[in-house]
Amino acid sequence: MREDTIAAVATAMGQGGIGIIRISGDESANILRKIFTTPKGVELLPRQLTYGHIRDGQGAVIDEVLAVYMPAPHTYTTEDVVEIDCHGSIVALRKVLALVLSEGARMAEPGEFTKRAFLGGRLDLSQAEAVMDLISARSDKAYDSALGQLGGRLSEAVSAARKSILDTLVEMTVNIDYPDEDIEELTYARLSQALSDIYDSLTELRKSADSGRIVREGIGITIVGRPNVGKSSLMNRLLGESRAIVTDIAGTTRDTIEEATNIRGIEVRLTDTAGIHETDDKIERIGIERSRKALNEADLIIMVIDGGEKLTSEDFEIMKALEPKKSLVLLNKSDIGCEVREEDISSTLKGVEIIRTSMENGEGLEEVGDFVEKMVYGGSVRQSESLTVTNIRHISLLEQAITAVLDARNITEKKEPLDIIEIDVRNAYDLLGEITGETASDDIINEVFSKFCLGK
């Protein structure tokens, strides 16, 4: 027997239509046969969902279920796998699981099923990690990205980079081992070029991580402006519901309000804030303090200006506190008319994008969506096929590999001996291998899977 047989509840623990118990390992089918009875004439065949009853040692019915037995190796774990569809009651699941454990299975550790898929060679480490991302994805974009990674898109890119590094290593080794042989000499210039190419492809991959972070964590948008300009109205428009109180009284919003939503499939954390202005009101002052704090934490700040009035000194004060790069200005209340000259804004916030909007008739909201999308995808056309690195572990390994390649190139330019350069190149090769798990130690592998949820 290669490994223990493991079992766990694979569905979320709570009430549901059904709950699934998963068993994996050599004993799976035996355990099922001991606790599962089928009606007369019905046989349990591989890969056939079969109706029957789970019974305890005394023959008492514990649950009415559908069960399936899937023989190795074409299963999730590459081992024999059994799944039992129980009623989705915590009690039923607990009882059936206890029975399975008493028949010889042991409770699975978090991520152990997927770990077995990895150890069985069905998934590499980055694909196994994608399983976790897939389960926890909260937006279409995060989901697509995880699905691509599960399909091996990241593995392919990393393997291609490793292949180039390996080619370089082989060429170097030949030159180190047989320096006198009549082999085409690996000139430093050529080595330097090869390392530059590898560096370029790795930095390209690394760049995708910036939008990858947004894909994964979403983007934080804070709405600021002086009182009564339409900040809360914008919040409600973006949320598609009346979350924030809107009145014509200046100072309606006194505390920051945070809500999560989706803009074009991008996860967004929206913060509406108290209008910033000079005031003696104690509560308002605290609210304004919070507005300033939210301002510092945002990925994007949307400043709302009442276009129906001339700019005030407060508008200028707020503009001065912003950075054009991560700001967007809305000239709101366009339905009323426009008293503001855009030049006055762009001369204070150089290069900032200005959109005329109306929360009354919805003008300009499409453009706000375009802006957010452009910001996240760096202006490039949205490609669902594009690869984004989202995992912190992968980003860190990529960065270390990039540093190693850069070091190698620098000492190549100084014409240091090849065997010294080789150390850095080999290091880069191993670091990239940790992404896919080819060179990852047991500790790293255990660490990765410990973050999984139970039953996966």
Ligand X SMILES: Nc1nc2c(ncn2[C@@H]2O[C@H](COP(=O)(O)OP(=O)(O)OP(=O)(O)O)[C@@H](O)[C@H]2O)c(=O)[nH]1
Interacting residue ranges for ligand X, rule: CB under 6 A:
225, 227-233, 246-248, 250-253, 275, 332-333, 335-336, 358-360
Binding residues for Mg ion, how many (CB under 5 A)? 4
Q: Using CB distances below 5 to 8 A depending on partner kind, what does residue 358 bind out of ligand X, Mg ion, none?
A: ligand X
Position 253 contacts Mg ion (CB under 5 A): yes
Position 357 contacts Mg ion (CB under 5 A): no
* Cβ nearer to ligand X, comparing 96 with 239: 239
Q: Using CB distances below 5 to 8 A depending on partner kind, what does residue 75 bind out of ligand X, Mg ion, none?
A: none
- Residue 130, helix vs strand vs coil: helix
Position 236 contacts Mg ion (CB under 5 A): no
Closest CA relative to residue 205, chosen from 153, 278, 262: 153
Instruction: Name the residue with the smallest CB distance to ligand X.
Output: 275
Closest CA relative to residue 351, chosen from 329, 366, 331: 329
* Cβ nearer to ligand X, comparing 275 with 433: 275
* Cβ nearer to ligand X, comparing 218 with 227: 227
Q: Given the structure tokens 């490793």, which residue do they identify?
A: 162
Reported as type and span, the H/E element at residue 88 is: strand 81-88
Q: How far is the CB of 266 from ligand X (least distance, A)?
A: 23
Q: In this structure, are strands 327-332 and 300-306 parallel, antiparallel, or unpaired?
A: parallel
Q: How far is the CB of 232 from Mg ion (least distance, A)?
A: 3
Position 232 contacts Mg ion (CB under 5 A): yes
CB under 5 A: which stretch of 35-43, 187-195, 229-237, 374-382 binds Mg ion? 229-237
C-alpha 222/C-alpha 218 separation (Å) is 13
Q: Using CB distances below 5 to 8 A depending on partner kind, what does residue 222 bind out of Mg ion, ligand X, none?
A: none
Backbone angles phi, psi at 249, to 5 degrees: -90, 125
- Residue 227, helix vs strand vs coil: coil
Q: Given the structure tokens 């503001």, which residue do they identify?
A: 340
Q: How far is the CB of 248 from ligand X (least distance, A)?
A: 4
Closest CA relative to residue 145, chosen from 456, 443, 392, 388: 388
Q: How far is the CB of 370 from ligand X (least distance, A)?
A: 19
Residue 73 preceded by cis peptide, ω within 30? yes
C-alpha 117/C-alpha 128 separation (Å) is 8
Q: Which residues bind Mg ion (CB under 5 A)?
A: 231-232, 252-253
